[in-house]
Structure 1
Amino acid sequence: MRLTGPLRAVVVLLLVGLTWLLASSLFGGESALSVRHFFSGTSAEPTPAEPRPRKYKCGLSAPCPAKHLAFRLVSGAANVIGPKICLEDKMLVSSVKNNVGRGLNIALVNGVTGELLDTQTFDMWAGDVSNLLKFLRPLHEGTLVFVASFDDPASKLNDESRRLFEELGSTAVKDLAFRDSWVFVGAKGIENKSPFEQRMKNSKSSNKYEGWPESLEMDGCIPLRPPLDH
């Protein structure tokens, strides 16, 4: 029995549709998804991606309160990757800025205005500790001191230099030793120990790198000091 013209056309269209569906299913892609949704009667809208966590100044996960400075410190990794000091989304010290060095990397900041005052590096392996002493002795009241270590922060430290850091609020500096990792934020005239300090001891049994402990990373919010009355 021969098929009539209209019936033959319907059969051809069905065969074409089934062939397209089979090919799309085999080769995948957006067309296959659209076909499957078309025959199932559902929407073909893609599933939205998970939103990325918002980052704030210096990569903090939450914004700092008003009249606070956002900061992030990263100590050097072994003697290969230099440290970083970020303040209010501005990189004060980094390898990209070409102002890092072996030893102690220090940034001084005005504790009232948040203005950068100076950045210096002090070689604590082969340098002269007197340069560090000359840098720390004349600090003005309220000056913020950001410190990130690189390679060896301690071999040249003497009693006076450790005492000066203790007066800035450090508790770890008295035990700071060869190739320890250290990040610290202190202030001239601080009355109590600083809440912003981390130290990772150089130990063969726990070192992440051969001969060096892992890099340290610390961030937070520092309140600005009120202006002094005249």
Structure 2
Amino acid sequence: MRCSAFIRIVVVLLTLLTTWYFAEKFYSNKVDMKSLRSMFDNKAEEAPRKKKVKFSCGNEKPCPDGYFAFQIISGAANVVGPSICFDNTIIMSSVKNNIGRGLNIALINASTGALIKTNAFDMYSGDVKPLLEFIKPVKDGTLVFVASYDDPGTKLNDEARSIFTDFGSSYAKKVRFRDGWIFVGGKGINAKSPFEQHIKNNKETNKYDGWPEVLEMEGCIPKKSN
């Protein structure tokens, strides 16, 4: 009897000790995990979320004082039209309903930033004469923005190409059928413009069926001093 009672006491004690051991281990881990989670949650609350700041014309970098910000985007195939933003104002776009197939051109006063005029010229089935009448009278101190849409090159003749070259273009004489082209130059700059992109229509590399990918460019243009 005494031996049986002793064994029962030992079993009870072992059960209690085992229960205590696992309970201690389990609950201490739970507390540690809770504390750890709480620590990271607090860190997350303390760290402010970084917002992507956009500047004039939605550009990623600000322009210094004395500069105009711009963004220019070519058309996408013959579906989505181009857009031109200058000094935080959209001056040509599908929404403004002042763009068209071919070459979309905006003329801006380089000193004041005032818009002079805009127009779109069909370079596939249209006549080049209206384009020449638009760009030949451009005066010194005028910024010239060009964005292609669908086809900028089929009717672009040597005279028009030479005028764009005089505006600072490096690619005007190379633009062909359905190429992509964006350009910012000016009358009287006497140098090659740093603001130009050109991509050839190539069925091996085209992003769209029959057209290359969209071109996009942003930057800062110094105001012309009087």
* TM-based fold match above 0.5: yes
Gaps of 5+ in 1: 1-34
C-alpha distance in 1 between matches for 2:86 and 2:174: 27
Shift of 1:53: 2.3
Shift of 1:46: 6.3
Secondary structure of the residue that 1:175 maps to in structure 2? Answer: coil
Instruction: String of CA shifts for 1:112-141, please: whole Å, max 9, x gaps.
Output: 101011110000001110000000111111
Secondary structure of the residue that 1:45 maps to in structure 2? Answer: helix
**Alignment partner, residue 174 of structure 2:** 175
CA spacing shift, 1:51–1:44, aligned 2, 3 Å = closer
Report sequence identity in percent: 53
CA spacing shift, 1:54–1:43, aligned 2, 3 Å = closer
Q: Which structure has the larger Rg? A: 2
Q: How does 1:1-230 map to 2 (within 5 A)?
A: 36-37=34-35, 42=39, 44-45=41-42, 47=44, 48=47, 50-227=49-226
Report the TM-score when normalising by structure 1: 0.80
CA spacing shift, 1:41–1:104, aligned 2, 3 Å = closer
Secondary structure of the residue that 1:52 maps to in structure 2? Answer: coil
Report the TM-score when normalising by structure 2: 0.81
CA spacing shift, 1:50–1:166, aligned 2, 3 Å = same
Gaps of 5+ in 2: 1-32
C-alpha distance in 1 between matches for 2:62 and 2:176: 35
Instruction: String of CA shifts for 1:133-176, please: whole Å, max 9, x gaps.
Output: 00011111110000100000010111100011011001101010
Say what the alpha-carbon RMSD is for the aligned residues. Answer: 2.4
Secondary structure of the residue that 1:173 maps to in structure 2? Answer: coil
C-alpha distance in 1 between matches for 2:38 and 2:159: 79
CA spacing shift, 1:40–1:86, aligned 2, 3 Å = closer
C-alpha distance in 1 between matches for 2:195 and 2:41: 51
